[in-house]
Structure 1
Amino acid sequence: MTEQQLQDSINDYWTRRAPDYDAYQQRPERRDLDVAVWADIWSAALPEAPADVLDVGTGSGHVARTIAGLGHRVTGIDLSPGMLEIAAEHAASDACAVAGSGMTPPRFLTGDAVAPDFAEQSFDAVVGRYVMWTLRDPEAAVASWVRLLRPGGVVAMADSLWFTDGLGELYGERPEGHLPLADARSIDEVADAMRRGGLVDVSVTPLEQVRELDREHGVAPGHDLVLQHLLTGRRG
């Protein structure tokens, strides 16, 4: 399998999963609780609003929409057509709901999280949730994000160790060296990849509040209860 075939396989996988993935995030018994908890997490990690924020691997747009609700100008990118279609539908609903409020719903574009096609120093922050493990080349991705940041800009990534027993054939056969963080056995491996990509002051914060929500309401089918982390760093 070539690198492009791997990425195509990833895109196809998430397009197939998009409806069920989004439906789980929209469960009425948990949706508002999730938004409130994650709004606090992102608010603490990001510059003062309004800032220009890029959400890489935006999926169905949960992070982008939450951050837009904090008053930021958000662009979400993804390579999964199915995910982007759902994100755009949510953005259209948001636009109607917030008309006249001064809030700007996020815009969603086709884009590669590893090599986002934007001008240098276009953003104050780059964010992502559950993205690091599925990057074909994490260090190259982080280096791309650093290039997009204005001086002092931040990267904030939420992730965990999802595959302690191995990724298996989830995306098919992987070219050697690709998706290395899918095999991580410590969250420090993710932090080290961020440092090697060029970020400074990298820190790791356990997200106990998210684990408590998972304990109370359960996790997605096929997943185990794990501790998630927020990893942050900045452009020097």
Structure 2
Amino acid sequence: MSDATAAITAYWDDAAASFDDEPDHGLRQEHTRAAWARLLRSWLPDAPADVLDAGCGTGSLSLLLAEAGHRVTGVDLAPHMVERAEAKLAAAGRAGRFLVGDAAAPPTGQGRYDAVLSRHLLWTLPDPHAALREWVARLNPGGRLVLVEGRWRATGEAGAPYVAGAESLPWQGGVTAGDLAAAVGPLVSTLHVEPLSGEAELWGGPVTDERYALIART
């Protein structure tokens, strides 16, 4: 493991204990949880589908996927995040497969998926374009790529400054919908963007930055 990867892993491991305190991370409020469940139903294929949750964190979206009847595989670089995801689904009596590894190149072998879902991960990656190509390559024909992204403050999602050297990340601080659509467009057959900034129930309150979902099909 490189020094940079070790630092990133340590950052998110340290963030795991308090990660779910954010309303859109833990989904502890029923209205927030219901809002995300509604959107996932509209974005994803009918259940049961094989869904890869790339950068699954503590597994809140993975749990919603499993509750909707999907077969979910979650991947995250941080072991403590994966431990919490496993515990979250087990406590709910739901099945899920979770792997510790680089979400940009998921360690899932030759497995193919009906959908790849990623939320607020691309800004952390040293080569987000390579990750997009990798995710599209993991999709079955007609599969869906669902990216929940935005353009926000230049700090880590946990609210603290991110790892040393993060200022050189291509999409540090997030990525605009226009830039992400330009990157994804050549890789897929269709795509559309759904603005989410005005959906206060998703975030635990009003937000003023750019937030959106990009949904593409191969």
Q: Aligned-pair distance for 1:75?
A: 0.6
Which residue does the alignment assign to 1:200?
A: 189
**Are residue 152 (structure 1) and residue 150 (structure 2) matched?**
no
- CA–CA distance in structure 1, aligned partners of residues 64 and 138 of structure 2: 21
* TM-score with structure 1 setting the length: 0.80
- For 1:66, the equivalent position in structure 2 comes to 64
Shift of 1:90: 0.6
* Structure 1 runs, 4 residues or longer, greater than 6 Å off: 26-29
Aligned mates of 2:124, 2:26 — CA distance in 1: 28
DSSP 3-state at the match of 1:181: coil
**SS of alignment partner, residue 144 of structure 1:** helix
Q: How does 1:115-134 map to 2 (within 5 A)?
A: 115-120=105-110, 122-134=112-124
Matched residue, 1:11: 9
Q: What amino acid maps onto 1:232 in structure 2?
A: I
| Amino acid across the alignment from 1:126 | V
Distance in 2, Cα, partners of 1:124 & 1:107: 16
Does the CA-based 8 Å contact 1:211-1:228 persist in structure 2? no
Residue identity opposite 1:172 in structure 2: A
* Distance change (3 Å), C-alpha of 1:46 and 1:26: closer
For residue 19 of structure 2, what is the aligned residue in structure 1?
21
Gaps of 5+ in 2: none
**Aligned positions, number:** 215
TM-score (norm 2): 0.86
Q: CA deviation at 1:7?
A: 2.6
Distance 1:119 1:150, change over 3 A: farther
Structure 2 CA distance for partners of 1:8 and 1:210, relative to 1, 3 Å: farther
Q: Are the counterparts in 1 of residues 57 and 76 from structure 2 also a CA contact under 8 Å?
A: yes
The structure whose Rg is larger is 1
Q: Equivalent pairs: percent with the same residue?
A: 34
Contact 2:73 2:98 in 1 (8 A): yes
CA distance in 2, matches of 1:91, 1:116: 20
